[in-house]
Structure 1
Amino acid sequence: MSRWIDACALDDIDDEDVRPFEHQGHAYALYRVDGQVYATDGLCTHERVALCDGLVMDHVIECPKHNGRFDIRTGRALGAPVCVNLRTYPAKADGGRVFIQIHTEPA
């Protein structure tokens, strides 16, 4: 089952920036580029470093530890040292808030 989660205010994310978000013990990274919002897992697939400390350029997040890069739209790993793609999540801005769609287990 999937549902939309209210993650933060749209104004909390500057353009070409990343913000951390945690929900039920899972780390996510929220991005804003050219007025669009995106969401990925919050940890690099290489050494599990927080991507919220990385650098966003266009639609690419660069990990702060070893400079691995991912396309935030698709999660595609863009070269060494990262070779495993990053999981992405549908994201939207609505009413000045950012929402991400995540899979939740039935209660």
Structure 2
Amino acid sequence: MTWIKVASKDDIQEGNGKELNINGQRIALFLSKNKYYAIEALCRHQDGSLAPGKVNGEIVECPLHFWHYNIRTGELLDYMEGIKLTTFPVQIRKNEIYLDI
């Protein structure tokens, strides 16, 4: 495992996302119901960033065309079966957020 410090807990607010660029990889970090999630940032439809999307529990809605993804599992929930984004384990150490990349 390679844990990388990516943000401070203060960098992200409840119900919101933040896009990170880690070694050229775009990752969306979300805080929902006091739990942090990290997922590939780009929607499979037209590569729009999921980070500014609406978050409702474990679901994020792509702001471009309203596709829905589970931010815990990475699964696309509508339109096509079998589409899944990569998710990344998140670890909190004091006030810092680390991802296993």
Normalised by the size of structure 2, how large is the TM-score? 0.92
CA separation of 1:98 and 1:82: change in aligned 2, threshold 3 A: farther
The reply on whether 1:63 has 2:93 as its aligned counterpart is no
Partner of 2:90: 91
Displacement of 1:83 in angstroms is: 5.7
Mark the runs of 5 or more structure 2 residues left unpaired by the alignment: none
Report Cα offsets for 1:43-90 as digits up to 9, x if no partner.
Answer: 112211111121111111110111000010101111026862111010
Give the secondary-structure state (helix, strand or coil) at the position aligned to 1:67.
coil
Question: Taking structure 1 as reference, are residues 65 and 81 closer, same or farther at Cα in structure 2, changes over 3 Å only?
Answer: farther
Farther off after superposition, 7-16 or 81-90: 81-90
Amino acid at match of 1:56: V
Provide the residue aligned with 1:105 in structure 2: none
Correspondence for 1:32:
31
Q: Is the 8 A contact 2:30 2:36 kept in 1?
A: yes
* Count of residues in Structure 1 that have an aligned counterpart in Structure 2: 101
> Unaligned 5+ residue runs, structure 1?
103-107
Aligned sequence identity (%) = 29
Misfit runs of 4+, over 3 Å: none
Q: Does 1:6 align with 2:8?
A: no
Kept in 2: contact 1:46–1:81 (CA 8 A) = no
Residue of structure 2 in register with 1:16 after alignment: 15
* 1:66–1:81 Cα contact (<8 Å) kept: no
